[in-house]
Amino acid sequence: MNKTLNQIAKEVVAKTILAADESTGTISKRLTSIGVDSTPEVNREYRQMLFTASGIENYVSGVILFDETIRQSSNNEIPFPKLLDEKNISPGIKVDKGTAKFSEDKVDTYTEGADGLEKRLLEYKNLGARFAKWRSVYMISNGSPTQEALDKNAEGLALYAKACQDAGIVPIVEPEVLMDGDHSLEQDKEITIKALSVVFNKLKVYEVHLGGVILKPNMITAGKDNPKQADVETVAQTTLDVLKTTVPFEVSGIAFLSGGQSPDLATGHLNAINKLRNAKPDEYPWRITASFGRALQGEALEAWGGKKENIEKAQKVFIERAEKVYKASLGQL
């Protein structure tokens, strides 16, 4: 089983991972931004546009789907997981159910979705999913995240990861320190080290096989409201320093989230990280790639605008960005 999990994990991170797992609320916001109302059919048409873009398999090795999407099919009635699989792209699934606050007077949240998880994982596996994703979020604010929030979210991620592996599914573990706020790069570094350290301690406690785990962390940056932003090289080196401090070598791959960065900035950071990584592969032995949502899709979404006559143009825009992100995952931009 462990050998199979290792193999699946390496296949998923071989190129890049497209995060197309927007919840019903999130996809509605994305479509509203281009003047389109979200419906299951409109959502399907949008995802189909991305999945059928010519050449996607050259740059994308995994796609994270939402519950609605994994059950949908293309115009010629090929289920999306099968369509992706036929392109040698691994289908994945978001299994968490969003966040809830510890209390109304605090910003700390924990992630929900543990109820019935084992049963859902088996269903998703039967639908074609080879990997899954669970996201926990941490807000840097006055006194937050608390140790309670760090511990509870790490526990949730570890229990989820164990359940995935028991079902023969590779878990993407996503502890995201949000860019929201005006915190400094140093504060982001400190909190991310804390969060990742607690997560890997919990994974060890629950005997999660690290070779069958993909980590989806944030890059280390200042908060988006901080006027003092670090240069690309500083972000890259600081991010690698955090990985070296916290991530065991056995982990099969690291796939960064974009966290609200612009497509160009997220791609530039990924490229700089991999240039540094390539110079010292013994210090940073992991495959380091991207699992971007908006940073891969945003430009194509705008080019499409919900109009069928724009599909070909939007697909071209999407593939151009996908190629750049893949090259950045190799440090070749």
264-275 pLDDT, tens per residue? 999 999 999 999
Band of residue 129 on the pLDDT scale cut at 50, 70, 90: very high
Give the pLDDT of residue 105: 75
Give the pLDDT of residue 142: 86
First vs last Cα of the chain: how many Å apart? 37
Instruction: Quote the domain boundaries for residue 37.
Output: 2-329
Residue 192 CA to residue 137 CA, distance in Å, equals 11
Across the strands, what pairs with 136? 175
Give me the percent of the chain exceeding a pLDDT of 70.
100
Residue 74 has pLDDT above 90, yes or no: yes
Across the strands, what pairs with 162? none
Instruction: From the candidates 174, 176, 202, 299, give the one annotated as an active-site residue.
Output: 174
Instruction: From the candidates 15, 94, 152, 216, give the one annotated as an active-site residue.
Output: 216
Q: Residue 132's domain is classified under what CATH number?
A: 3.20.20.70
Average of pLDDT values for 176-192?
Answer: 97
Mean residue pLDDT across the chain: 96
Residue 116 has pLDDT above 90, yes or no: yes
278-290 pLDDT, tens per residue? 999 999 999 999 9
- What is the domain count for the chain? 1
56-70 pLDDT, tens per residue? 999 999 999 999 999
Stated pTM of the model = 0.96
Name the nearest CA neighbour of 167 among 205, 194, 130.
Answer: 130
| Phi-psi sector, 107: left (phi>0), alpha (psi -120 to 50), beta | alpha
Residue 218 CA to residue 221 CA, distance in Å, equals 9
Active site residue 119: no
Active site residue 174: yes
**304 and 42 Cβ atoms separated by less than 8 Å:** no
**133 and 93 Cβ atoms separated by less than 8 Å:** yes
